[in-house]
Amino acid sequence: MANYTINQMQGDSKDRVAHDFYPTPDHATIKILEREEFIGNVWEPACGNGAISKLVESKLKLPVFSTDLHDRGYGQTGVDFLFCQPPAERIDNIITNPPFGLATEFIQRSLLLSERKVAMLLKLNALAGSNRYKQIYSKTPPSRIYVFCNRLNFDRGDEKAKKSGGVLEYAWFVWQRDWQANTEVDWLI
């Protein structure tokens, strides 16, 4: 087993869903697919129940490698993204909603493996933190950040989300290989 802490694997409080399984709302995935062009294949390394993978396949008609450490009924399971071999010789894009307790590690690994783009759905506060700045942003800042104006409401594992909005702010963070300009920020309504 990888060197994850108990909190990262099981959630950091009794209010967290085991293994941080919060399926991505369809409208959140559609927003990034409308804003960004993805060429080539896509790896969704935390595919869960296939929420992102299914939309990428149906909307973009791109080949998608769907893997997850845990079995949520979709993709190849038992695959630890942080330590596994990539599912193809070349990985063009990685699009995922990573377990938030491992966001930094997922970003770092994705930036190493992706040939074109990385798109991560993260809490907006992922921008903060001196360690994350030193490890990632000072060396490889995002190309674009798309901030959701309205809070996303996630299902909690297999439990459907309530109709009201969520409590945290989220954004899509996108890294594009060979990006030379400053980070661009835009908003998603």
Per-residue pLDDT tens digits for 24-58? 999 999 999 999 999 999 999 999 999 999 999 99
**pLDDT class for 163, splitting at 50, 70, 90?**
low
The reported pLDDT for the residue numbered 154 is: 83
Q: Which CATH superfamily is domain 19-188 in?
A: Vaccinia Virus protein VP39 (3.40.50.150)
In this prediction, residue 153 carries a pLDDT of 87
Whose structure tokens read 């299914």?
A: 54
Residue labelled with tokens 């702010």: 169
pLDDT at 8 over 50: no
Whole-number Å distance between alpha carbons of 23 and 48: 7
Q: What is the mean pLDDT of the chain?
A: 89
Q: Residue 158, SS3?
A: coil
Sequence letter at residue 66: S
Residues 6+ apart with CB under 8 A from 147: 124, 169, 170, 171, 185, 186, 187, 188
What are the boundaries of each domain within the chain? 19-188
DSSP 20: G
Measure the CA angle with vertex 67, ends 53 and 5; round to 5°: 120
Q: Per-residue pLDDT averaged across 156-160, rounded?
A: 58
Using DSSP's 3-state secondary structure scheme, residue 175 falls into: strand
DSSP 76-135: EES--TTTSPPSSS-EEEEEE---GGGHHHHHHHHHHHEEEEEEEEEEGGGG--HHHIII
| 116 CA to centre of own chain | 15
Residue 11 has pLDDT above 50, yes or no: no
- Rounded mean pLDDT, 64-88: 97
Predicted local distance difference test score (pLDDT) of residue 3: 42
DSSP conformation class of 48: T
Q: Is-contact 49 19, C-beta < 8 A?
A: no
Q: Which amino acid is at 46?
A: A
> Tens digits of per-residue pLDDT, 135-154?
999 999 999 999 999 999 88
Q: Which of 64-78, 115-129, 149-163 has the lowest mean pLDDT?
A: 149-163
